[in-house]
Amino acid sequence: MRLLNYKTEYQKLLTPTIVSYLAQIHEMKGQQNLFVEAQKDALAELLEIAKIQSTEASNRIEGIITTDDRLKKIVMNKTTPKGRSEREIAGYRDVLNTIHENYDFIPVRPGMILQLHRDLYKFSNSAIGGSFKNSDNIIAEELPDGTKRVRFQPVPAWETPEAMDSLCNAFQEVLTDPELDPLLLMPMFILDFLCIHPFNDGNGRMSRLLTLLLLYRSGYSVGKYISLERLIADSKETYYEVLQDSSTGWHEGTNDYLPFVRYMLGVVVAAYREFASRVDILITRGLSKPDRIRETIRSTTGKITKTQIMRQCPDISQKTVERALADMLKNGDIIKIGGGRYTSYRWNWEKE
């Protein structure tokens, strides 16, 4: 197991872009906290939307899917999960709720991470939940010709318990240093977690749940109201690219954390910006559902599909979205691009 020296690696991350991200997040965090204190009840809708989006997106990244209607019912605990995918979705829902409600009492220790993993699989018939991997695993990708190549060889199974102890100890040690911003330490921890790849299955989903846990414990609660998992899913190709870039040379201690840290901070910045936009639409301006759909399209750079609109507004029915799109097309507010399954829309700026 390589030695983890976060303090040394930290200094390499203080580039102008990273410092700018940190300044933006600190400022937006203060603005969000003031609003949350004043409008906690009004944000209940955003909270529920984010839970649905987070559960859907994090599982979708791993190919675990169900219908939109079933997903909403599972997240709202109004139905019994059927099949493997829905059981794993229900497990994610429960772990997400646990983190939302109890993050202050969930220390970042191997035993607690095992408990969260156990709960991720509590509806599954599999016995892998709550145990570190019992065989070596690899991170592979499928090439266009159907062949697979190994992208990364994680820590071997026999070394995993010690590696997780070292990871958590190293993180806790630097987290108490007032000179080190936890916003930079957290993505380094997550990268190392993914390089260890401690479980037979569920490593990606656990990494995203742990990201939320670490952010909440440090006072960055934007993930409660804006789904970080959705933002990651929507930029999945970039996510895997930076993960590859930052994991190269990891076993030798020569890897570069910067690409992954920069990406994750960018996701957090995007979430805070979206929070401000959503607050304006949902609360400050008190828009109706059709007007929210209208503003969602208008605030999108480029084109947007009906599916993307529904992901951003999961509380709005498909029928309402379709009716709003038809009305806007009739009025010339939006322009339709393509047809069939490839249909998308963009705002008609020429009309303004």
What pLDDT does 290 receive?
A: 92
For the stretch 112-143, pLDDT in tens is: 999 999 999 999 988 899 999 999 998 887 76
pLDDT tops 70 at residue 86: yes
Mean pLDDT on 8-16: 95
pLDDT value of position 279: 82
CATH class of 289-351: mainly alpha
pLDDT tier at 258, thresholds 50, 70, 90: very high
CATH code, residues 6-284: 1.10.3290.10
Query: What is the pLDDT averaged over residues 56-74?
Result: 93
In the predicted structure, residue 158 carries a pLDDT above the cut 70 = yes
Q: Is the pLDDT of residue 284 over 70?
A: no
Three-state secondary structure along the chain? CCCCCHHHHHHCCCCHHHHHHHHHHHHHHHHHHHHHHHCCHHHHHHHHHHHHHHHHHHHHHCCCCCCHHHHHHHHCCCCCCCHHHHHHHHHHHHHHHHHHHHHHHCCCCHHHHHHHHHHHCCCCCCCCCCCCCCCCCCEEEECCCCCEEEEECCCCHHHHHHHHHHHHHHHHHHHCCCCCCHHHHHHHHHHHHHHHCCCCCCHHHHHHHHHHHHHHHCCCCHHHCCCHHHHHHCCHHHHHHHHHHHHCCCCCCCCCCHHHHHHHHHHHHHHHHHHHHHHHHHHHCCCCHHHHHHHHHHCCCCCECHHHHHHHCCCCCHHHHHHHHHHHHHHCCEEEECCHHHCEEEECHHHC
**Average pLDDT of the residues in 54-58:** 95
**In the chain, domain spans:** 6-284, 289-351
Percentage of the chain surpassing pLDDT 70?
Answer: 98
Give me the pLDDT at residue 198, please: 98
Instruction: Look up the pTM and report it.
Output: 0.87
Mean pLDDT over each residue of the chain, to the nearest integer: 92
